[in-house]
């Protein structure tokens, strides 16, 4: 049950002069192969340890499953305190593989704790969480590799204070830490307090962390088959083991996006036609945008590269964004995700036979309808000359979700090699973090504070 990548609608045979000729792909094949080899030399080193996660976590998986089995019996709610990849990955997998109304189900149907991810520091959000969970029956998973992430650690301090007041010495049993084994503040706190702790491998950054304990623990708490996720990732990795882009779907996808960028396509739209995959687009937006949006290349040359990721949902956004995609600028590549077989289906009833414009739907299923609308959108985009490609999942399960995660990670890594950038750093993010520390007068950031204070002050005439 392997995902299929259909790029017919990127080619000149369907798009005419708006598409790529076969000769353009053949001409780029050597460059794609070099990108594959270049990533292969780095694989498993530096910040590319994520590529080996499907193969080297047997002991960690056993620990996670044992911990989750006990915690699922004991706790009524499970809350992730994290931001960025620490939140987007768990949300995407939860939405993909759990019941759509999971938290609304009675406990006996749910089979596990209610699930929440607190990925922002809006005070109203924290107050709302505390209105619906009882700290005495809740397990909190604090996720930050550095232990210095202001958003996550502020949440930790708030929750720890509440737990201490509610539970006394037992408060420590309500926190699990997921962090670096050797560096940062959270591991020091975890050791001091005796928290159960899982480790984020040194070579795994936040946006590539869903297949390590960052994502595997929440998934296990929800009863998701985490071994299936890793098995699926390994299947996709194997399917992408050739340097020939005509035999490597992720390498082909990267090559097409790179060539599209070279031709002015600076927006990448991710549009799943399945509500279960809605938040996979959110996860993709971080992965693609944070990895490829870079000011300088590996040679130190200012390049300001990257492709702006945009999320959409089919069929919902056929009634909002697709008008732009079919008749607007030729500055986008639209990636559609389809599902061949849904996990359940609903037959559309009769009852309006006197109205042919309605009754034609009767007897068909909602699964037929959403997939028909997906194909219609592909046709409309192609007819108007707008590049689009489609990923098809046979069905949504742990293995195909693992495949999808690995596909996008490999595509991102290959595309970064083609762009000659550091795919795994995030200097733009760090600038914002450092400015926050300076504004709070954190020790060691005095120079940054002075820099901020020297910046031009807002002028009243520009505020109306």
My answer on whether omega of the bond before 315 falls inside 30° of 0, hence cis, is yes
CA distance 293 to 306: 4
Residue 310 φ then ψ, to 5°? -130, 135
433 is known as an active-site residue:
yes
CB 227: neighbour CB atoms within 10 A? 18
Among residues 326, 307, 310, 191, which one has the least CA distance to residue 260?
A: 307
Q: Quick one: which H or E segment has residue 176?
A: strand 175-179
Name the active-site residue from 172, 183, 433, 448.
433
Question: φ and ψ at 11, to 5 degrees?
Answer: -105, 160
Q: How do 302-305 and 294-296 pair as beta strands?
A: antiparallel
List the alpha helices (DSSP H) in 98-171.
Answer: 107-110, 123-132, 150-167
83: which 2 tokens?
């931001």
**CA-based nearest residue to 177, from 251, 82, 54:** 82
Which structure tokens are listed for 402?
């693992």
- Nearest of 113, 112, 111, 129 to residue 121 by alpha carbon: 129
- 319 assigned to active site: yes
**Tokens describing residue 20:** 């790529």
**CA atoms of 332 and 83, how far apart (whole Å):** 28
Cα-based angle 8, 13, 15 (whole degrees, multiple of 5)? 80
Residue 174 annotated in active site: no
Distance CA 94, CA 78 (A): 12
Options 73, 301, 319, 443, the catalytic residue: 319
- Catalytic residue, chosen from 210, 227, 235, 290, is 290
Q: Which two tokens stand for residue 55?
A: 């193969």
Biggest CA pair distance of the chain: 75
- Give every strand in the sheet of 114-118, ordered side by side: 114-118, 77-81, 138-143, 175-179, 196-199
Residue 268 bridge partners (DSSP):
309, 333
d(CA 219, CA 232): 15
**Residues 308 and 235: beta-carbon distance below 8 Å:** no
- The catalytic site residues sit at 290, 319, 433
């Amino acid at each position: 049950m392997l995902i299929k990548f259909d790029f017919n609608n990127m080619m000149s045979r369907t798009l005419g002069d708006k598409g790529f000729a076969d000769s353009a792909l053949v001409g780029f094949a050597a460059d794609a192969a070099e990108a594959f080899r270049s990533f292969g030399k780095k694989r498993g080193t530096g910040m590319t340890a994520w590529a080996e996660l499907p193969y080297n976590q047997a002991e960690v998986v056993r620990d996670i499953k044992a911990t989750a089995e006990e915690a699922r019996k004991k706790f009524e709610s499970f809350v992730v305190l994290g931001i960025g990849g620490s939140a987007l990955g768990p949300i995407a997998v939860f939405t993909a593989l759990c019941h759509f109304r999971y938290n609304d189900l009675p406990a006996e149907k749910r089979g596990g704790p209610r699930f929440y991810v607190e990925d922002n520091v809006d005070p109203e959000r924290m107050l709302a969480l505390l209105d619906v969970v009882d700290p005495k029956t809740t397990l909190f998973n604090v996720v930050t590799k550095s232990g210095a992430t202001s958003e996550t650690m502020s949440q930790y301090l708030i929750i720890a204070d509440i737990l201490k007041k509610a539970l006394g010495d037992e408060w420590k049993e309500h926190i699990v830490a997921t962090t670096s084994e050797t560096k940062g503040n959270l591991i020091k706190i975890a050791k001091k307090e005796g928290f159960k702790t899982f480790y984020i491998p040194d070579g795994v950054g936040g946006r590539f962390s869903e297949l390590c304990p960052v994502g595997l623990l929440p998934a296990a708490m929800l009863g998701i088959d985490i071994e299936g996720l890793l098995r699926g990732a390994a299947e996709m990795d194997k399917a992408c083991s050739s340097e020939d882009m005509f035999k490597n779907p992720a390498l082909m996808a990267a090559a097409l996006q790179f060539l599209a960028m070279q031709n002015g396509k600076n927006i990448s739209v991710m549009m799943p036609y399945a509500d279960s995959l809605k938040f996979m687009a959110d996860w993709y937006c971080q992965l693609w945008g944070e990895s490829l949006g870079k000011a300088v290349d590996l040679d130190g040359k200012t390049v300001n590269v990257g492709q702006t990721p945009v999320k959409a949902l089919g069929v919902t956004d056929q009634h909002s964004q697709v008008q732009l995609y079919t008749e607007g600028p030729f500055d986008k590549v639209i990636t559609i995700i389809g599902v061949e077989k849904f996990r359940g289906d609903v037959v559309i009833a009769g009852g309006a036979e006197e109205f042919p414009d309605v009754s034609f739907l009767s007897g068909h299923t909602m699964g037929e309808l959403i997939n028909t609308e997906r194909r219609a959108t592909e046709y409309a985009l192609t007819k108007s000359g707008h590049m689009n490609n489609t990923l098809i999942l046979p069905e949504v399960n742990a293995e195909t979700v693992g495949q999808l995660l690995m596909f996008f990670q490999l595509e991102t890594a290959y595309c970064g090699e083609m762009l000659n950038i550091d795919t795994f750093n995030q200097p733009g993010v760090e600038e914002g973090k450092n400015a926050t520390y300076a504004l709070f007068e954190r020790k060691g950031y005095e120079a940054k504070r002075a820099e901020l204070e020297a910046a031009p002050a807002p002028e009243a005439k520009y505020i109306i």
